Amino acid sequence: MALVLINTEAGFEETVLEKLKKTRNVKEAFIVY
Q: Please list the residues that pair with 5 across neighbouring strands.
A: 30
pLDDT tens-digit map of 1-33: 666 677 777 777 778 778 777 777 777 777 666
* CB of 28 closer than 8 Å to CB of 6: no
* Tally of domains within the chain: 1
Check the CA dihedral 6-26-17-30 and report its sign: negative
- What is the rounded CA–CA span in Å between residue 19 and residue 14? 9
Domain span at residue 23?
Answer: 1-33
Q: What is the pLDDT of residue 22?
A: 77
- What is the rounded CA–CA span in Å between residue 33 and residue 29? 13
* CB of 32 closer than 8 Å to CB of 6: yes
